[in-house]
Amino acid sequence: MSQKVKATKSKKEESSSKKSDGSQNNEKMLAPKPKSSSTGKSPRKRKSEGSAMEKSKAVSEASSSESSDVDAKKRKKQKKEDAVGGSLQDALKKSRLSAAASVSDFKFNKKRVRLVSVEENLKDDAEGIVYWMSRDQRVEDNWAFLYAQRLAVKQKLPLHVAFCLVPKFLEATIRHYGFMLKGLKEVAEDCKALNIPFHLLIGYAKDVLPDFVKEHSIGGVVTDFAPLRVPMQWVKDVSERLPKDVPLVQVDAHNIVPCWIASIKQEYGARTIRKKIHDQLSQFLTEFPPVIKHPYNSMFKAKPVDWKECYASLEVDRTVKEVEWAKPGSKAGVDMLQSFITQRLKSFNSDRNNPNQQALSNLSPWFHFGQLSVQRAILEVQKYRSKYKESVDSFVEEAIIRRELADNFCYYNKSYDTVEGAYDWAKNTLKVHEKDKRTHIYSLEKLESGKTHDPLWNAAQLQMVHEGKMHGFLRMYWAKKILEWTNSPGEALKFAIYLNDRYELDGRDPNGYVGCMWSICGIHDQGWAERAVFGKIRYMNYQGCKRKFDVAQFERRYHPKNFA
Ligand SMILES: Cc1cc2nc3c(=O)[nH]c(=O)nc-3n(C[C@H](O)[C@H](O)[C@H](O)COP(=O)(O)OP(=O)(O)OC[C@H]3O[C@@H](n4cnc5c(N)ncnc54)[C@H](O)[C@@H]3O)c2cc1C
């Protein structure tokens, strides 16, 4: 999105936020044009118009699945399981229903929504609404999906979901595409059960989505939000190519406090954004209503997706294999959340910096692909605050403050992945020390194959290459050593981002760019005692790691001979 459009929109948001309910164009946005009457130019006859009936049916279906005829023994077992978490999948269904029967009955906070197109009214004779799914690849707990359904139900229109599959994206490999496609297959199945056709469109959104919209007389497009330049460009391109009378709106379904509401500028660090986010949490950190079986039938069917064929046709590197431990899809994401709560949350605060311990949530792959809502994870984890206060508070700090700070940085800083994007103090100190003699210089190939003189660094690199997830503590050490062992900060950043994006399952994420920028360029950090190569950038060393955890144990676990 160009600066000009962004500025206009923020102005709009500013003025609209002065409304009593703080919503953006709440009353007008995406309503039908005033002249079109609901009886006059109605679209072709639809099979099902009985929304109330369908809604209550969907609700009773959802609740009856929970109270099936389990015998007393099973109930007892269930009760016992509930005490330690039970089936989180089932509990979530109940929680959503406790918020509202459907999004139509729910007080949707429209601050989550912003208008991208010039047109803000739905076109006449619309025959459907489309949710262009991109970053948030899930059905439930997705504000963009919910907003699209709310709109479609309000206008008595069918709802469609479209995903535009590009054959290549940054350094993504089959590890990433495999995870994503399997997650999308689950989305498609869930959509089918909800009477919402799922369309996998092959190609760049600008080339396929506008034609889809025209061909099927779609009246309005809802999409989600990502702050990185490539997806931002996709949205801009689509908005320029959509028919002028079709509005496009964006919903931040990834952050709890929408990125553009949390702050209107690049924040200096966690300490400057923390209060802004916490002050607004109460209005955004709410339960989600369920997506209901859509009451309006589409006039056309989605083209069946041949997932195998789709997988085979990808033009991506297949040498970086998919990983076993991370099962793709929203259901697996919820299972991982449940295992975090029942097994690892208690030691998150005390052991999260120990790579030999199982204390982390491990949720980043599901968060990255939007298969699990961070908001959902927070809602669930917070229930354990009286039991594990420190751990819950630390998790909130990481998953909300640090993560939303990363989105803030990438959204407001166009140079989020180059030294140019660093603060002046950091750029200056790195420049002063650019010519300092390095103890070791490694090529990208040497680094990639984990063949440095440092067994801990090699072990961390091999963990990432083979498991698709390096432990969070070691990511900092790993990136800082790349600064120490390459020719320049620019080269270090390039290598770190390349390796991170290629091997980490959660790579190509604002968190990754900010993680590399924090380690190498001091972003969101402060100046430290000056030293060679690093200048005032925070330094980490092997001895420091030895004081934190049993380094030898980690090195044994990820020794090259284990992967020979
Ligand atoms: C050099 C470097 C590269 C990184 N690359 C990535 C990346 O590509 N993708 C990615 O998601 N994270 C990245 N991080 C941030 C962090 O290391 C990972 O989010 C975390 O290790 C993921 O594991 P987890 O889900 O078990 O984390 P947990 O410790 O359980 O944290 C829960 C969630 O909080 C968020 N979070 C945790 N730490 C951070 C942080 N420092 N900054 C922002 N958000 C955070 C993540 O969404 C994470 O999933 C990077 C950090 C560094 C220093």
Domains, the chain, with CATH or none: 3-65+82-308 (3.40.50.620), 326-412 (1.25.40.80), 419-563 (1.10.579.10)
Tokens representing 544 are 């420091």
> Is pLDDT above 90 for 325?
yes
What is residue 294's predicted lDDT score, i.e. its pLDDT? 98
Q: How confident is the model at residue 168 (pLDDT cuts 50, 70, 90)?
A: confident
Cα(223)–Cα(212) distance, integer angstroms: 15
> Is pLDDT above 70 for 10?
no
> Is pLDDT above 70 for 226?
yes
> Is pLDDT above 90 for 320?
yes
Point out the least confidently predicted range of 47-51, 104-108, 214-218, 419-423.
47-51
Q: Is the CB of 403 under 6 A from ligand 1?
A: yes
> Is pLDDT above 80 for 20?
no
Cα(119)–Cα(124) distance, integer angstroms: 13
Q: Is the CB of 519 under 6 A from ligand 1?
A: yes
| Average pLDDT over the chain, rounded to an integer | 88
Q: Is the CB of 507 under 6 A from ligand 1?
A: yes
Q: Is the CB of 354 under 6 A from ligand 1?
A: no
Q: How confident is the model at residue 84 (pLDDT cuts 50, 70, 90)?
A: very low
Annotate 217-226 with b (16+ C-beta within 10 A) or e (fewer).
Answer: bbbbbbbbbb
Cα(466)–Cα(557) distance, integer angstroms: 12
Q: Whose CA is nearest to atom 52 of ligand 1?
A: 515
**Dist. CA 472 → ligand 1 center (Å):** 6
Paired with 531 in beta bridges are 535
Cα–Cα separations (whole angstroms), residue 475 to 180, 446, 503, 517: 23, 18, 12, 12
When pLDDT is averaged across residues 374-383 and rounded to a whole number, the result is 98
